[in-house]
């Protein structure tokens, strides 16, 4: 088993006064889970992410594009936001940590470096363009809808800079679009100009798209083993075929978090990897969990847990104070990596200083693992729900497995919370107000609503 979830510290037996999830609550939830499982797995046609791990045609099309660009570029610049950036960022951080970018092209196996612009802060974009040689840069423009304002604005700026650097015609050879096969502005441009384009299948939502070309192409370009990524995810799907919570890890995760929230008020759900390469996985998870589950039920009731990213051991000196003594409204899910015990030997020095001498002979791998176990135990001792997800190693297989685990858990949780996990109506109003202020055609109604809002009141300004 490459992935395991120890949830002892979520359960009443491990927490003071038995104030955790009871065995009966878990048993009761198994019926609801069986229904959620049946519902989700019956929707393969609608939920394309379920079959991405075995979509060989999409994988091969993606690898072919990666192959066509081989040797032509030193850098890849990815433009995207939300699900069109967080997955690639998480994969890059996990499997191509920052030091990789400083290696020579040979040491990188000839693979280009990956830069991601996932915001429209002009300073970041200017600084990124200033340091890239655009004549040796491939630009990936990723947008499921093909029209997201931030990504389109980035595209216009970068396309202009590319045209200046290499000429209008050659600029097309520096672009790859990843978008819906039919709709959206990117698709229109691609058709008109013959720009190489990979599809995000229409039935794959942005935040569930990391195992589509959205994550696969950037990963393949920087030499990540895409087949291993998909194999890890496929393994999760095989194990999740059964609705038995004893073997369905994503189901168990979803059920535990749902009970913790709805029956125990633990609505803030922390994901805390004890591994630097997994820092950005927590940010990817935040979008998945928040945008999928935080919404109105059909009867108008607002529901949904609040995901919170953290990283160990760093946050032991920051947020853990809050987790230990703040409101009893949290769960913490740690992610640990096995087999690090011998990594990072701590040398013997200052043997006469007890505050340092006890570290001699230990390793950093031991230290980080012990600190995780200590924190889990300390939280449990104070009635704080926590669970530990362990992986064997940080590699493409385990990243694929982790990502599919969380994606599937999100789909199950959507059914348990009785919401549609695959839309995001709550982001529309803000977008429409922005369109109205930018003068986009068709936003007259949003303009009227915006104009009718109370304006800043000088009495409430300091
Ligand atoms: O890939 P797109 O269509 O540009 O969307 C980017 C992001 O915007 C959202 O649609 C909502 O803000 C996210 O769900 C999505 O990941």
> How confident is residue 2, by pLDDT bands cut at 50, 70 and 90?
confident
- Between vectors from CA 428 to CA 124 and to CA 126, what angle results, nearest 5°? 10
Chain-centroid distance, C-alpha 223: 20
Could you tell me the strand order of the sheet in which 3-6 lies? 3-6, 385-391, 330-337, 268-273, 306-309
Q: What is the atom index within ligand 1 of the atom nearest the CA of 82?
A: 16
Centre of ligand 1 to C-alpha 427, Å, is 9
- What is the residue with the minimal CA distance to atom 14 of ligand 1? 206
Residue nearest to atom 8 of ligand 1 (CA): 82
Nearest atom within ligand 1 for CA of residue 291: 14
- Fold designation for 49-224: Rossmann fold (3.40.50)
CB 34 within 8 A of CB 248: no
Domains 3-41+231-417 and 49-224 are alike in CATH topology:
yes
Distance from residue 426's CA to the centre of ligand 1 (Å)? 12
- Confidence band (pLDDT; 50, 70, 90) for 240? very high
- Model confidence, pTM: 0.97
Cβ pair 259, 29 in contact under 8 A: yes
Ligand 1 in contact with 291 (CB < 6 A)?
yes
Q: What is the DSSP string of 387-437?
A: EEEEES-SSHHHHHHHHHHHHHHHHHHHHHHTS-TT--GGGHHHHHHHHHH
The residue to mutate among 79, 141, 206, having the most atoms of ligand 1 within 8 angstroms of its beta carbon, is 206
Selection from 420, 459, 389 nearest residue 5 by Cα? 389
> What is the mean predicted confidence (pLDDT) over 325-336?
98
Per residue in 351-361, pLDDT (tens digit) is 999 999 999 99
Q: Backbone dihedral region of 339: left (phi > 0), alpha (psi from -120 to 50 degrees) or beta?
A: left
User: Which pLDDT band holds residue 37 (cuts at 50, 70, 90)?
Assistant: very high
> Which residue has a Cα nearest atom 2 of ligand 1?
143
Quick: pLDDT tens for 394-421: 999 999 999 999 999 999 999 999 999 9
Average pLDDT over residues 325-331: 98
C-alpha 413/C-alpha 255 separation (Å) is: 7
Residue nearest atom 12 in ligand 1 by C-alpha distance: 427
The CA–CA distances, whole Å, from 278 to 89, 288, 347 equal: 10, 15, 27
Per-residue confidence (pLDDT) for residue 98, from 0 to 100: 86
pLDDT in tens, 166-184: 999 999 999 999 999 999 9
- Annotated catalytic residue within 17, 182, 317, 455: 317
Mutate to test the pocket of ligand 1, among 212, 424, 426, 432 (most ligand atoms within 8 A of CB): 424
The predicted pLDDT at position 1 comes to 53
ipTM for the predicted complex comes to 0.98
Per-residue pLDDT reduced to its tens digit, 199-224: 999 999 999 999 999 999 999 999 99
What pLDDT score does 18 carry? 87
Ligand 1 close to Cβ of residue 81 (< 6 A): yes
Average confidence score pLDDT of the chain: 97
* CA gap 63, 87 in Å, rounded: 18
Tell me: the pLDDT tens digits for 87-142?
Answer: 999 999 999 988 998 999 999 999 999 999 999 999 999 999 999 999 999 999 99
Gap between the Cα atoms of 7 and 28, Å rounded: 17
Q: Which CATH class is domain 3-41+231-417?
A: alpha beta
Question: Residue ranges of the domains in the chain?
Answer: 3-41+231-417, 49-224
Query: pLDDT > 90: what percent of the chain?
Result: 98
Catalytic residue status for 449: no
The answer, yes or no, to whether any atom of ligand 1 lies below 6 A from the CB of 113, is no
> Is position 431 annotated as part of the catalytic site?
yes
CB atoms within 10 A of CB 109: 9
Dist. CA 123–CA 145, nearest whole Å: 26
């Amino acid at each position: 088993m490459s992935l395991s979830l120890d949830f002892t510290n979520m359960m009443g037996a491990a927490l003071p006064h038995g104030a955790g999830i009871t065995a009966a609550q878990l048993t009761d939830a198994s019926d609801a889970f069986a229904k959620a499982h049946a519902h989700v797995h019956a929707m393969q046609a609608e939920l394309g992410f379920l079959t991405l791990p075995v979509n060989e045609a999409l994988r091969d099309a993606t690898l072919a594009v990666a192959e066509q660009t081989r040797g032509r570029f030193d850098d890849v610049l990815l433009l995207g936001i939300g699900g069109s950036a967080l997955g690639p960022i998480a994969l890059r951080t996990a499997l191509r940590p920052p030091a990789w970018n400083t290696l020579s092209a040979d040491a990188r196996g000839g693979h280009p470096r990956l830069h991601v612009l996932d915001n429209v802060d002009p300073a970041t974009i200017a600084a990124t363009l200033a340091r890239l040689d655009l004549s040796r840069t491939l630009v990936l423009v990723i947008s499921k809808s093909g029209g997201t304002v931030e990504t389109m604005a980035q595209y216009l700026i970068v396309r202009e800079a590319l045209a200046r650097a290499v000429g209008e015609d050659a600029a097309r050879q520096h672009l790859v679009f990843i978008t819906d096969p039919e709709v959206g502005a990117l698709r229109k441009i691609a058709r008109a100009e013959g720009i190489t384009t990979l599809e995000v299948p229409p039935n794959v939502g942005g935040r569930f798209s990391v195992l589509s070309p959205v994550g696969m192409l950037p990963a393949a370009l920087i030499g990540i083993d895409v087949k291993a990524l998909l194999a890890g995810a496929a393994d999760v799907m095989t194990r999740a075929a059964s609705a038995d919570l004893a073997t369905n890890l994503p189901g168990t995760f979803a059920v535990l978090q749902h009970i913790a929230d709805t029956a125990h008020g633990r609505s803030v759900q922390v994901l805390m990897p004890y591994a630097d390469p997994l820092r950005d996985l927590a940010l990817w998870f935040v979008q998945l969990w928040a945008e999928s589950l935080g919404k109105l039920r059909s009867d108008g009731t607002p529901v949904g847990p609040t995901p919170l990213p953290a990283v160990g051991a760093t946050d032991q000196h920051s947020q853990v104070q809050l987790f230990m003594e703040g409101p009893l409204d949290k769960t913490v899910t740690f992610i640990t990596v096995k087999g690090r015990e011998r990594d990072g030997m701590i040398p013997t020095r200052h043997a006469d200083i007890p505050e340092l001498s006890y570290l001699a002979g230990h390793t950093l791998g031991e230290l980080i693992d012990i600190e995780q176990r200590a924190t889990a135990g300390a939280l449990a001792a104070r009635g704080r729900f926590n669970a530990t997800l362990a992986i064997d190693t940080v590699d493409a297989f385990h990243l694929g497995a982790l990502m599919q685990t969380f994606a599937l858990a999100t789909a199950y949780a959507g059914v348990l919370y009785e919401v549609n996990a695959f839309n995001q109506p709550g982001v529309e109003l803000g977008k429409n107000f922005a369109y109205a202020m930018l003068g986009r055609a068709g936003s007259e109604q949003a303009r009227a609503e915006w104009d009718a809002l109370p304006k800043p009141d000088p009495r409430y300004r300091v």
